[in-house]
Amino acid sequence: MRVDIQRNAARESIYAEIDAERERQDTKYGAEKDLPIMLGEDLRLVEHHEYVKRVYEIRDRKGLRSHSLALIEEVSELVHARTMSERETEAIQVAACAVKLIEAIRWQRRAAR
């Protein structure tokens, strides 16, 4: 497997910023590790899960993907996951989509200069 050192260095910067944000969150709210993973009301926030999934699949087939829709779809999957193992897997996918979105934002910002 070929390693792209420049890309990994850019990703390290993103991870450092995420870590700093987590520190800010802990300072503001405390660690809150005992909060529920999900509340029943959370499902209402993404009650159109099947619609989101269909839109994502249709746009994907047509080549009309967007980073924000991918992130929304992954959050929807997370909220609808049934087991802790599925939730963990989906949370990792959410984080990966968020990192990919940050990378795209930075790349597009540089390209616009």
Q: What is the pLDDT of residues 40-97, one digit of tens each?
A: 666 665 677 788 888 889 988 998 888 888 888 889 889 888 899 999 999 999 999 8
- In terms of Cβ atoms closer than 10 Å to its own Cβ (0-12, 13-18, 19+), residue 77 is buried
Q: What is the pLDDT of residue 30?
A: 79
42 and 77, same domain (yes or no): yes
- Location of structure tokens 């405390």: 30
41 and 29, same domain (yes or no): no
Q: What is the pLDDT of residue 65?
A: 80
Tell me the residue range of the domain where 9 lies: 1-35
Q: How many domains does the chain have?
A: 2
28 and 68, same domain (yes or no): no
76 and 21, same domain (yes or no): no
pTM exceeds 0.85: no
83 and 108, same domain (yes or no): yes
42 and 84, same domain (yes or no): yes
